[in-house]
Each structure stands twice: as structure tokens, then as C-alpha cells.
Amino acid sequence: MELNLTLVINQMLFGLALGAVYILMACGLTIIFGLLDVVNFAHGTFYMLGAFAAFVIVSLFGNFWLGLVSAVIIVGLIGWVTETYLIKPLYGKDPLYPLMLTFGFSVAVTDLMRGIFGTIGRIVPLPQIFTGSLMWEGVFIPKYRVFIIFLTLGVLTFLWYFFKKTNLGMIIRAATRDSLMVRTLGINVPRIWTFGFALGVGLAALAGGVNSTIQSALPDMGVETTVECFVVVVIGGLGSLGGAIIGGLIIGQVISFVSLLASDWSNVAIFITMLLILLVRTRGLFGEAGRL
């Protein structure tokens, strides 16, 4: 296939939009791991629930924006209940317990959604405002992919402000470093953990809702997405939000260009990329030494 500048720019923009979805997912997973030290194997399941929540709300009310907001709120509340009644009793025990619990939760919820919605994909209609493409220097840029990129930038800006400038954000950051010290100051740390888990799965739900206009909502969609999300987080470094952002951008571009040149290798390419990075830097690009 002959590559030209227009095609390269198109693929870079496609990879940037895809990377933006991975960034939302990976940031949520990083918040959960950094705060709770829980390897959340159900993260892709919450992504899937976000896609279905957006589909149901848009089908009922015909409002895409309401669908996105509702997906975050509904799945965030599901995450709140999940952490409170399922994961919280396992804190302080073998780290394998919450890992296996989230894995079992993922299997159970996937089967439940399969029983409710079947195996036929459901796709959210693209809002009229985002149909068509923008034209720039001879390059056609789909409006919706531009929206995904700017939405992710907005979310990242919010997260930066929240964790750096607000009292609650700074308490969460402190709790990731020394929860015992935060507890001695009279702060309800378990409630902070619950909020952090809900925030993390809410970001996964937002990614699912945003992607539901491109990728059909399927009960099994979370399985592959969970694996890809963990690849992004491992590349960036466990517990690093900056690493999650860089990892998402890298994987987005890898999938975009490998899909163009050798589509059969697109899934394998992300693992090869992870392997090469870990050979050079075993804890990922921005991972902290001894984080595990």
C-alpha cells in the first residue's frame, strides 16, 4: 500500500481518537489501583455497562448528552455499591481475593447482560451535530472523532484541577501515599476509597458511552477491552496517570497504523509494543520503583 501524507495524517487522527478512549479507560484503572491497590479485572465490564447505559437512555429519551451523563452516573453508582459491599470486606487480606472477585463479577455481569440484551450488537445513533467531516488541508476529519479528542482533553483538564487544586483531590492523593496518616487526621478513608472506585469506573463508563456510537454495545465487549486497558497501564507504569495518558496515545497509534498495513497483526502488535518497552524499562515508562 502506498503511503502519502494525507493517509498518514488520517491514520494519526484515527489513532489519536482511539487513544483518547484508551486514556479514559486507563486513567480510571490507574486511579483505582493507585488508591486501593486493587487490580480491577472488571474494568472492561464497567466500560460495557457504560455503553449499554448510554444505549438505553438514548433509546428512551433520544438525547445523546443525557445518555453520556447518565452512563457515568449509573455505572458510578454501580461501582459505589460494588466497592462497598463486595470489595471493601477484602481489604487487608490476600491481594488475590479482590482480583478473583472482580474477575468473577465480570463473568457474572457479562452473562447477565447477555441474558437481557442477547448477542446482537446495539449501537447509539450518532448525533446530527457530529455527522460528516471537517476539511483541513485536503484531509477529511470525522467530526465525532474530533469531539472524542476534545472531550478527553476536557476530562484530563478536570482531573488535573481536581487532584491538584481541590481539597478532596489532595486528600485522595495523600491517601494513595499514606492512608494511615490520613486516617489519623480524622478523615474517613474508607469513604475516600469508595469515591475513588466510583470515579474510576465512571471514567470507564464514559469511554463506553462515547465509543457506543462507533462500536456496537455487546455483552462480551469488555473482555478484550480489559486486556487492552491493562496493556496501556503497564506500558505507562502502574499507578501513573501521566503514564496512562502516554500509554493510551502509543497504543492508539500502534493499532491505527498496524491495522492499515497488516490488519491481522493489530492485536498482536500491542503486546509486542508492551514487550519492547518492558525490556527497556521493566516498570513501564513512568512507573515507580517498588510500586507493587
Q: What is the DSSP string of 115-177?
A: HHHTTS-B-PPPPGGG-SEEEETTEEEEHHHHHHHHHHHHHHHHHHHHHHHSHHHHHHHHHHH
Could you give the percent of the chain with pLDDT greater than 90?
54
- What is the pLDDT averaged over residues 281-287? 84
Question: Which pLDDT tens digit goes with each residue over 2-32?
Answer: 567 777 888 888 899 999 999 999 999 999 8
Cα angle 79, 159, 55; round to 5: 45
The reported pLDDT for the residue numbered 128 is: 87
The reported pLDDT for the residue numbered 218 is: 92
The reported pLDDT for the residue numbered 64 is: 94
Question: Which pLDDT tens digit goes with each residue over 87-118?
Answer: 999 887 887 898 899 999 999 999 999 999 98
The reported pLDDT for the residue numbered 141 is: 80
- What is the pLDDT averaged over residues 164-184? 84
Average pLDDT across the chain, whole number: 89
